[in-house]
Structure 1
Amino acid sequence: MKRLFQALGLGWALCAYSPALLARDLVFGVVYLDSQGFYAGVRNGVEKAAAASGLRIRLIDINVSGDLAKESSFIQILAANRVDAIILSAISADGSVKAIRHAASAGIPVVCYNTCINEASLGKYVTAFVLGDALRFGEMLGAEAAIQLTRLGVRSPRVGVLNCEFVEVCVQRRKGFEKALKARLPDSRVVANQEATVLDKALSVGQGMLLAQPEINVLFGESGGATLGAIKAVQKSGRSGKVHVFGSDMTTELAHELFDHRVLKATVDVSGTELGRMAFALALAATHGKQPAQRVQQARIGLYAAPESAKAWLAGHPDGLP
């Protein structure tokens, strides 16, 4: 354990903990893809599940900020130190394979949540994958968008997408959204699609879209940061009431915007806290040689489409964690 802390540049931590605390029975490595609110929820779920397990467990975690090299380096360190399990949201379906294969070859169970590696490699190197079905996620949102846009008299949606399509889950979200929207409003069309998952970039890209293509009357955010950026872009462009936002994920800020309902009309969410709990449970079971009956485990998908649902979410999440 001492070598692990030093390898991670956490030598200072050795002075902060007693030898008894450092000698945990189990050590789990946890990888968070970025710093959006969803991953704060995942961290909350993992930590609460670890505390509730009644076992002595040490969590060694990192936010890789979408950096594939950082993800690979961290997993290699974990594998070299023979941690008991690794929990992660993989950055790339193909690019993350090498590091995960290395960990699996070292006999370390790997549990993915939200995103993972390609299907062929997943079957070889990953113990379990927890997610909300991304295509269904998008379909639920697209169907609700069609209902609300019809009610608003928008028969020909011109959609701008703020995407996170460097991960496959976001590609599937868009495909599901387009499919369901077009099924009910055949004249709908995506006219712009740009990567913008971080709030500041999403705001800038959203404003640029609205300026360059004034026919846009719908913005779709594929992640929480993209959704909030889309809302702020509409507000700052003076297009509230004319451009309607449909989004992904749920946070306190998004719940307040949904309650206001002037710009954000609906969002679909998979609870980060619940995914964290499920991923931890699967990782813990794997350390005891237990494999899930199904490698891919589905999490519940929730649709929030009215001010009342936003109010209920806020009441049920006083800590603000999704």
Structure 2
Amino acid sequence: MKQAKRRLVAVLMAVAAVLAVTAACGRVGEHGRIGVVYLNAEGYYAGVERGLRSTLGHGDGDPQLVQTNIQSDPAKESSFINTMSSAKVDALIVSPASATASIPALRLAKESGVPVICYNTCIEDAQARKYVHSFVLGDPAEFGRVSGEQMAAYFLAAGKRAPKVGVINCEQFEVCIQRRQGFEKALKAKVPGAKIVANQQGLALDEAVERGEQLLTAHPEIDAFYGEAGSQMLGAVKAVEARGKAGKIAVFGGDMSVEAAKKLQDGRVLKGVADISGIKVGRLAGQAARDVLAGRPTDKFVVPAPIDRYLGAKDGSRWLQEHSDGIP
């Protein structure tokens, strides 16, 4: 009984803290409150915030955003979403940490009457269809296809008909699995002799670098890497550079950032990047939230986000000019 009381007090204190934060910008709930979960500290999520702010605004007459960065930790995510559910915010915008471990938190939000908008990642599809209002998503298979085609063109130009490829993945998330499948299909359609010799997970940048170096030790014949997202792509680049293989091993992958654009501009290792702009995704998620607040119904679960492609030094320079503030 005492433990139950302590848990209740903790929840009430957390809710009070949330209300205190949101009240700082005006009367609580006057124009709606929206909880926002950022998956990690990559620049992509700064872009999402920029896009959200451009759509939802940040004045006294706009919805109040209550935001957190969970650092890819499902426990932190669960705690925040539980608090948002108890506070009965008007909507929750989230890039879930896990396709499976995040299900209970999103179920609670749904049961608490809080509409959930996923972006970038989500829970497994069957559960998402039950607990999620909409999902802002760039087609992951198409995303992977861009890199597969870029890598295929690189190999064909180099006269390599049976290249060896290493993959550094983020396949804790379903979208990353679909990216890899799209990549492999496109690569092998144009270069049938291409072979994936290894596929290892490395979620954080340091881990991705370590996996890249391990793969180069185990498979020194690797001709190129595919990094399924930003940390994996840059981890592969850094591993190639650390082993003195710049100019010999190419890297293709996903998600632009200042560092990725500079590596693309340099051109010795990183050759091509597929990208879904965080700013564009944030705008779409923000509009979905505005529709929820206005009570506008939607008949589409997936809100498609555009996929951009960058190839070579000129595109790297162009991205840096277009994103002079570094926000992707």
Same fold (TM over 0.5): yes
Q: Does the residue aligned with 1:141 lie in a helix, a strand or coil? A: helix
The residue number in structure 2 matching 1:235 is 241
The residue number in structure 2 matching 1:319 is 325
* Counterpart amino acid of residue 250 in structure 1: M
CA contact (8 A) 1:127 1:291 kept: no
Matched, 1:221 2:241: no
Residues 236-276 of structure 1 deviation map (CA, whole Å, 9 limit, x = unaligned):
10111211100110001111111111100101000011111
* Counterpart amino acid of residue 82 in structure 2: Q
CA contact (8 A) 1:109 1:287 kept: no
Instruction: Report the CA distance shift for 1:53/1:165 in structure 2 as closer, same or farther (over 3 A).
Output: farther
5+ residue gaps, structure 1: none
Pairing of 1:56-135 with structure 2 (within 5 A) = 56-135=62-141
Q: Does the residue aligned with 1:151 lie in a helix, a strand or coil? A: helix
State TM-score, norm by structure 2. 0.91
Instruction: Report the CA distance shift for 1:15/1:222 in structure 2 as closer, same or farther (over 3 A).
Output: closer
User: Following TM superposition, by how much is the alpha carbon of 1:52 offset from its aligned partner in structure 2, in angstroms?
Assistant: 6.7
Once the two structures are overlaid, the 10-residue window that deviates more, 179-188 or 286-295, is 286-295
* Counterpart amino acid of residue 319 in structure 2: W
CA contact (8 A) 2:124 2:174 kept: no
- What RMSD in Å do the two structures reach over aligned CA positions? 2.3
Q: Does the residue aligned with 1:47 lie in a helix, a strand or coil? A: helix
User: Which of 201, 209, 214 lines up with 1:203 in the alignment?
Assistant: 209
User: Following TM superposition, by how much is the alpha carbon of 1:94 offset from its aligned partner in structure 2, in angstroms?
Assistant: 2.5
Separation in structure 1 between the aligned mates of residue 22 and residue 292 of structure 2, nearest angstrom: 30
State TM-score, norm by structure 1. 0.92
Instruction: Report the CA distance shift for 1:119/1:15 in structure 2 as closer, same or farther (over 3 A).
Output: closer
Q: Does the residue aligned with 1:262 lie in a helix, a strand or coil? A: coil
CA contact (8 A) 1:131 1:298 kept: yes
Once the two structures are overlaid, the 10-residue window that deviates more, 179-188 or 285-294, is 285-294
Residues 86-123 of structure 1 deviation map (CA, whole Å, 9 limit, x = unaligned):
00011222222221111111111110001112222222
* Counterpart amino acid of residue 137 in structure 2: L
Q: Does the residue aligned with 1:20 lie in a helix, a strand or coil? A: coil
Matched, 1:150 2:156: yes
Identical-pair percentage: 42
User: Following TM superposition, by how much is the alpha carbon of 1:179 offset from its aligned partner in structure 2, in angstroms?
Assistant: 0.7
Residues 17-75 of structure 1 deviation map (CA, whole Å, 9 limit, x = unaligned):
75836564211100111111212211221123221788332111111122112211211
User: Which of 160, 171, 175 lines up with 1:165 in the alignment?
Assistant: 171
Q: Does the residue aligned with 1:177 lie in a helix, a strand or coil? A: helix
Pairing of 1:174-189 with structure 2 (within 5 A) = 174-189=180-195
* Counterpart amino acid of residue 295 in structure 2: G
CA contact (8 A) 2:25 2:60 kept: no
CA contact (8 A) 1:192 1:209 kept: yes
User: How many residue pairs end up in the alignment?
Assistant: 319
* Counterpart amino acid of residue 83 in structure 1: V
* Counterpart amino acid of residue 115 in structure 1: T
CA contact (8 A) 1:5 1:14 kept: no
